[in-house]
Chains A and B, each alone.
Chain A
Amino acid sequence: MMETPKDQESLDLTTMHMGPSHPAMHGTIHIKVQLAGERIENAEVNIGYLHRGFEKEAEAHCWQQIFPYTDRLNYVSPMLNNVGYAMAVEKLCGVTVPERAQYIRVIVGEIARIADHLTYMAAQTMEMGAFTPYFYVMKGRDWLWDLLEEVSGARLTHSYVRIGGVAWDLSEGFKEKTIEILPRIDQVVVELDKLMTRNRIFLDRMQDIAVISAEEAISYGWTGPCLRGSGVDYDVRKAHPYLVYDRMDFEIPIGTDGDNMDRYMVRMEEMRQSMRIIRQALDQIEPGPVMIEDRLVVIPQKAATYNTIEDMINHFKLVIDGIRPPRGEVYSYTEAGNGELGFYLVSDGTGRPVKCRVRPPCFMGMAALKQLIEGHMVADVIPTFDTINMIGGECDR
């Protein structure tokens, strides 16, 4: 790609609008760039086109009704959002989940993480013009979604996790199916690797593009694969182990120079690590209850609800008034597909939150996009935007 000669910088800047509905951008976002020739002199990133009022909705619903909304935050890996929100409310109520439920959360969460990264790969490659890997990836993602659908009943928006555990136990033969599917996913990753990672055009558009230093990344609040791409080994699963991640043996891949390629490679490796975690979890998991025993949190069995007034009232009050956490505020954080997914909950002791703030990882990424793309070619906007992996529902909420 030709570099614009310095002496042409005196030329008038061309203003160009990318988005809100742009071919090579998933999600709706508006980037206004000012070009000197092909180089971006000045960029303005506008988000918010998918602001759906998550917090307002949450403040109008009771605690357990918020799960479906969390599904649609990072809709590429809803299961991880479910887990994150459930753990936040459990921290607020001070309840601990049965061990089997914790394992199940880890398993479905990691499956969702692989699906998340696969989807990222699909978007990344497709929007850079390589359509073939897209089909390979979709094939693999559908296998993973089959697993999640079998557990939760929904392909995408699962709402499978509950406050105090998970909705129901794993399905029959889930373990075998997973063991059987994981190698095929592995194969998909290998194929992807072969197709993209050493592809000349791909490398040209990924390597040394949109470099960000560790300090800047931290100052921008980056977390997750993007931060690790800049060489900071911060992963909530290792730094502050939750659920049963401390019993898992896995590595945190980190990049070296924080360019697009590193962010891509980190995700590529994370898929393999997630598969390791799933295999270990499937080995370690023991039979047991998947829900806590607390009539103030868990709704009673349907049979009892329909036949005795006590359980009817119990069910009624839990569903209509919601569970009643104590007064207080907590900030709970888990590692989601894009990084640290935080929930800041404020309770006044009633059935609905005073405040249910979600800390969206890719919001932080988007905040840095302006700085990343300035000085690069206009064509570099797309791969850079992709490596940040903005998910509209999460970024705009």
Chain B
Amino acid sequence: MSAKALERLEQRFAECVLETHDFRGDETAVVDRAAIVDVASWLRDEPDLAFNMLTDMTAVDWLLEGREPRFEVVYQLYSVEQRHRLRIKVQVPEEDPVVDTLTRLYGIADWLEREIWDMYGIRFKGHPNLKRILLYEEFVGHPLRKDYPKEKRQPLVRRPENEIADVLARRGKARPLPQPPPRSAR
């Protein structure tokens, strides 16, 4: 990664960069949510930075930590020419989970933002086609939020165990279904 890019960023967007750190050499800058598009486009177009690849993009839910704001959206930027990396983070409150889209800057942002919407319920303003990508439209809720129970399934095909008859059978109040005769009967 590159300390240079971090310094340049802090000089250029002094008021928007809320916090920076480099843990294990990963330069990270937490920037203001409103400024993400400006920051990203500047980082991409600045010739000596040239972060032309949005390597990855994801979100983190800090519910169990009790941190405010609850969500973080994380961008991993890479420059193929300069061979350096930078991580940009924006903080997203739970009550208003909206971030500006980067689809105009990076082609991949389209699907990555759809995935974040799918998994965390964070919306991206200006996204052309913000719908679920990994899960199905019938799915209710956003599974990677920490308060979504891990094993809460939402079947598309109705299962017998939901039936009253099944409960009755479990309590021995209904006749079990007839079984075929045993092999030996043949």
Contacts and interface: CB of A to CB of B under 8 A. Distances in A.
Nearest to A364: B108
A186 interface: no
Contacts of B28: 329
A94 B24 contact: yes
B39 interface: no
Interface string B105-137: 011101100000001000000000000111110
Contacts of B136: 48
B58 A357 contact: yes
Contact of B60 (A48, A215, A331, A355): A355
A221 interface: yes
A234 B23 contact: no
Contacts of B90: none
B83 A240 contact: yes
A203 interface: no
Given A60-B150, A354-B60, A367 B110 contact: yes
Contacts of A221: 53-56, 106-108
A348 B65 contact: yes
A358 to B, nearest CB: 9
Contacts of B56: 221, 331, 342, 344, 357, 359
A73 to B, nearest CB: 14
Contact of B144 (A55, A363, A371): A55
A175 B132 CA distance: 48
Interface in A91-129: 91-92, 94
Given A51-B135, A331-B87, A359 B55 contact: yes
The winner among A340, A348, A363 for most chain B CB atoms within 10 A is A363
B24 to A, nearest CB: 5
B150 A48 contact: no
A325 to B, nearest CB: 11
Contacts of A371: 107
Contact of A219 (B52, B76, B143): B52
Contacts of A329: 23, 26, 28
A340 B55 contact: yes
A220 B157 CA distance: 35
B40 interface: no
Given A53-B143, A234-B80, A367-B111, A328 B23 contact: yes
Interface in A210-253: 215-216, 218-221, 232, 234, 239-240
The winner among B52, B58, B61, B111 for most chain A CB atoms within 10 A is B111
Q: Is the interface of A mostly helix, strand, loop or mixed?
A: mixed
Contacts of B26: 329-331
Nearest to A357: B58
Contacts of B55: 221, 333, 340, 342, 359
B35 interface: no
A91 B24 contact: yes
Contact of A220 (B60, B108, B119, B132): B108
B24 A92 contact: yes
Interface in A351-377: 354-355, 357, 359, 363-364, 366-368, 371
A359 B60 contact: no
A360 to B, nearest CB: 9
A255 to B, nearest CB: 16
Contacts of B65: 348, 354
B24 A330 contact: yes
Interface of B: 23-24, 26, 28, 52-56, 58, 60-62, 64-65, 74, 76, 80, 83, 85, 87, 106-108, 110-111, 119, 132-136, 143-144, 146, 150
Which 8 residue pairs spanning A and B have beta carbons closest together?
A48-B134, A221-B108, A359-B56, A51-B134, A367-B111, A328-B23, A220-B107, A219-B107
20 contacts: A47-B134, A48-B134, A51-B135, A55-B144, A56-B144, A60-B150, A216-B107, A219-B108, A220-B107, A232-B80, A240-B83, A328-B24, A329-B26, A342-B76, A344-B56, A344-B76, A355-B60, A367-B107, A367-B110, A396-B134
Given A56-B143, A56-B144, A367-B108, 7 more contacts: A48-B135, A48-B136, A92-B24, A221-B53, A221-B108, A232-B80, A330-B23
Interface of A: 47-48, 51, 53, 55-57, 59-60, 91-92, 94, 215-216, 218-221, 232, 234, 239-240, 328-331, 333, 340, 342, 344, 346, 348, 354-355, 357, 359, 363-364, 366-368, 371, 396-397
